[in-house]
Amino acid sequence: MLGQADGTSWMAAFAKSMMSTALLLAERNPAYEDVASKFWEHFIYIANSMNSLKDPSRSLWDAQDGFFYDHLISDKGEMIPIRARTMVGFVPLFGISAVSADSCHRYPAFERRRQWFVEHRPDLVESVGPMVKPGPNNTLILGLVRENQLRSMLKYMLDEKEFLSPYGIRSVSQIHREQPLILHLDGQEYRLDYEPGESQTYLFGGNSNWRGPIWMPVNFLILTSLRQLHIHYGDDFKVECPTSSGKLMNLNEVALEIARRLERIFLRDESGKRAVFGECELFQNNPDWHSLIPFHEYFHGDTGRGCGASHQTGWTGLVAQLLMNMEAAPIKHK
Give the model confidence (pLDDT) of 235-271 as tens digits.
999 999 999 999 999 999 999 999 999 999 999 999 9
Residue 29 has what pLDDT? 96
pTM: 0.91
Residue 267 has what pLDDT? 95
Chain CA centroid to CA 115, Å? 29
- List phi, psi (to 5°) of 327: -125, 0
Residue 142 has what pLDDT? 87
Give the C-alpha separation, 195 to 179, whole Å: 12
Residue 330 has what pLDDT? 42
Task: Decide: 39 and 16 in contact? Cβ < 8 Å.
Answer: yes
Residue 173 has what pLDDT? 97
Residues 158-187: what's their mean pLDDT?
94
Give the C-alpha separation, 174 to 180, whole Å: 10
For residue 73, the cross-strand partners are 79
Task: Decide: 193 and 233 in contact? Cβ < 8 Å.
Answer: no
pLDDT band at 205 (very low <50, low <70, confident <90, very high): low
Give the C-alpha separation, 1 to 188, whole Å: 16
Dump pLDDT digits (tens) for 42-69. 999 998 888 888 777 788 999 999 999 9
Residue 73 has what pLDDT? 84
Task: Decide: 159 and 244 in contact? Cβ < 8 Å.
Answer: yes
Reduced to 3 states, what is the DSSP secondary structure of residue 33? Answer: helix
Q: Where are the beta strands (DSSP E) in the chain?
A: 2-3, 61-62, 67-68, 71-73, 79-81, 97-100, 139-142, 164-165, 168-169, 181-185, 188-192, 238-240, 248-250, 298-299, 306-307
Q: With left for phi above 0 and alpha for psi between -120 and 50, is residue 135 left, alpha or beta?
A: beta
Dump pLDDT digits (tens) for 89-147. 999 999 898 999 898 889 999 999 999 988 998 888 888 877 888 888 899 988 889 99
Q: Could you tell me which residues come within 8 angstroms of residue 231 by beta carbon, excluding any fewer than 6 positions away?
A: 98, 137, 139
Residue 176 has what pLDDT? 96
Judged against a pLDDT cut of 70, whether residue 331 lies above it is answered with no
Dump pLDDT digits (tens) for 273-300. 999 999 999 999 999 999 999 999 999 9
**More confident of the two residues 3 and 90:** 90
Give the C-alpha separation, 109 to 92, whole Å: 29
Judged against a pLDDT cut of 70, whether residue 204 lies above it is answered with no
Reduced to 3 states, what is the DSSP secondary structure of residue 56? Answer: helix
Residue 69 has what pLDDT? 95
**DSSP one-letter code for 54:** S
How many Cβ atoms from other residues are within 10 Å of residue 67's Cβ?
A: 25
Q: Mean pLDDT of all residues in the chain?
A: 90
Cα dihedral across residues 127, 130, 134, 140: positive or negative: negative
